[in-house]
Structure 1
Amino acid sequence: MITVIRSAWALLFGMFLLQIGNGLQGSLMGVRGAIENFSTFQLSLIGSAYFIGFLGGSSMAPKFIARVGHVRVFAALASFISAIVISYPIVADPYVWMVLRVGIGFCLSGVYVTAESWLNNSSTNETRGQSLSAYMLMQMFGLVAAQGFLAAGDPSGWLLFVIPSILVSLSFAPILLAATPTPAIEETRSMSLRQLYDASPFASVAMLLMGGVFAGQFVMAPVYATELGLNLQQLSGFVSAIFLGAIAFQYPIGWMSDRMDRRLLIVGAAFLGAAVSILGMFLGGNYWALLAIAALSGGLAQPLYALIIAYINDYLEPEDMPAASGGMIFVNGIGAISGPPLMGLLMGNIGASGFWLFLAVVLVSMGVYGVFRMTQRVSAYTEEDDYDAVPYASIMPGTASPVAVEAAQEYYVEAAEEMASDAEEDQDP
Structure 2
Amino acid sequence: MLASLVSITSLMLSTLLMMVGFGLMNYMIPVRSLAEGWSTFLISIMATGYTLGFTISCVITPKLVQRVGHVRVFGALITLLTVAILACAMVVDWRAWMVFRGLAGFAIAGSYLIIESWLNERVTNDNRGTIFSVYMVTCLVGSIGGQYLVPLGDPETTQLFILCGIIFSLALFPTALSTAQSPSPIAQANFDLPKLYRVSPIAFVGSLLAGALSGTWASLGAVYTQTIGLTTAEGATLLASVLAGGAIAQMPIGRISDRIDRRQVMIACGGVGVAACTLMALVSSMNIYVISAASFFVGTVLYPIYALNVAHANDRAEPAEYVAISSGIMVLYGLGTVAGPVMGGAVMETTGPKGLLSFLALIFGFYAAYAAWRMNRRSPDEAPKTDFQSMPIPMQVTEGVTGQPGPGPDTGR
Smaller-chain TM-score bracket: over 0.9
> Which residue of structure 1 lines up, in the alignment, with residue 245 of structure 2?
245
> Which residue of structure 2 lines up, in the alignment, with residue 155 of structure 1?
155
Distance 2:59 2:401 in 1: 13
> Which residue of structure 2 lines up, in the alignment, with residue 7 of structure 1?
7
* Alignment map for 1:333-352 (pairs within 5 Å): 333-352=334-353
> Which residue of structure 2 lines up, in the alignment, with residue 392 of structure 1?
388
Instruction: Indicate whether 1:217 and 2:217 are aligned.
Output: yes
Cα drift, residue 135 of structure 1: 1.7
Distance 1:379 1:119, change over 3 A: same
Q: What code does the residue aligned with 1:10 have? A: S
> Which residue of structure 2 lines up, in the alignment, with residue 110 of structure 1?
110
Q: What code does the residue aligned with 2:340 have? A: G
Provide the secondary structure at the position in 1 that maps to 2:182: coil
> Which residue of structure 1 lines up, in the alignment, with residue 288 of structure 2?
287
> Which residue of structure 2 lines up, in the alignment, with residue 271 of structure 1?
271
Q: Which runs of 5+ in 1 are unaligned?
A: 419-429
Q: What code does the residue aligned with 1:39 have? A: S
Provide the secondary structure at the position in 2 that maps to 1:409: coil
Q: Are 1:132 and 1:408, in contact at CA under 8 Å, matched by a contact in 2?
A: no
Cα drift, residue 158 of structure 1: 1.4
Q: Deviations over 1:97-121 (max 9, x none)?
A: 0000000011122222222222222
Provide the secondary structure at the position in 2 that maps to 1:86: helix
Q: Are 2:387 and 2:409, in contact at CA under 8 Å, matched by a contact in 1?
A: no
Distance 2:410 2:129 in 1: 11
Q: Are 2:24 and 2:150, in contact at CA under 8 Å, matched by a contact in 1?
A: yes
Distance 1:403 1:257, change over 3 A: closer
Q: Are 1:238 and 1:294, in contact at CA under 8 Å, matched by a contact in 2?
A: yes
Cα drift, residue 322 of structure 1: 1.4
Cα drift, residue 298 of structure 1: 0.7
Q: Are 1:21 and 1:168, in contact at CA under 8 Å, matched by a contact in 2?
A: yes
Q: Report percent identity of matched pairs.
A: 30
Distance 1:3 1:355, change over 3 A: farther
Distance 1:190 1:397 in 2: 24
Distance 1:26 1:258 in 2: 34
Q: Deviations over 1:76-101 (max 9, x none)?
A: 22222112111212111111100000
Higher mean displacement: 336-345 or 105-114: 105-114
Q: Are 1:55 and 1:330, in contact at CA under 8 Å, matched by a contact in 2?
A: yes
Distance 1:410 1:376 in 2: 25
Instruction: Indicate whether 1:203 and 2:209 are aligned.
Output: no
Q: Are 1:188 and 1:402, in contact at CA under 8 Å, matched by a contact in 2?
A: no
* Alignment map for 1:220-235 (pairs within 5 Å): 220-235=220-235
> Which residue of structure 1 lines up, in the alignment, with residue 362 of structure 2?
361
Distance 1:401 1:198 in 2: 21
Cα drift, residue 151 of structure 1: 2.2
Q: Taking structure 1 as the reference length, what is the TM-score of the superposition? A: 0.91
Q: Deviations over 1:258-308 (max 9, x none)?
A: 222111101111111111111222114332221111111011221111121
Q: Deviations over 1:127-182 (max 9, x none)?
A: 33332332233212211111211122211111211122111111121122222222
Higher mean displacement: 132-141 or 367-376: 132-141
Distance 1:182 1:29 in 2: 34
Distance 1:93 1:223, change over 3 A: same
Distance 1:290 1:407 in 2: 40
Q: Are 1:188 and 1:323, in contact at CA under 8 Å, matched by a contact in 2?
A: no
Q: What code does the residue aligned with 2:338 have? A: I
Distance 1:77 1:272 in 2: 37
Distance 1:134 1:305 in 2: 20
Q: What code does the residue aligned with 1:348 have? A: E
Provide the secondary structure at the position in 2 that maps to 1:312: helix
> Which residue of structure 2 lines up, in the alignment, with residue 316 of structure 1?
317
Cα drift, residue 396 of structure 1: 3.6
* Alignment map for 1:16-55 (pairs within 5 Å): 16-55=16-55
Distance 1:20 1:89 in 2: 18
Distance 1:401 1:211 in 2: 9
Cα drift, residue 397 of structure 1: 3.3
Q: RMSD of aligned C-alpha atoms?
A: 1.9
> Which residue of structure 2 lines up, in the alignment, with residue 426 of structure 1?
none
Provide the secondary structure at the position in 2 that maps to 1:397: coil
Q: Which runs of 5+ in 2 are unaligned?
A: none
Q: Deviations over 1:214-238 (max 9, x none)?
A: 1112121100011111111111111
Q: Are 1:32 and 1:156, in contact at CA under 8 Å, matched by a contact in 2?
A: yes
Distance 2:17 2:308 in 1: 27
Higher mean displacement: 390-399 or 296-305: 390-399
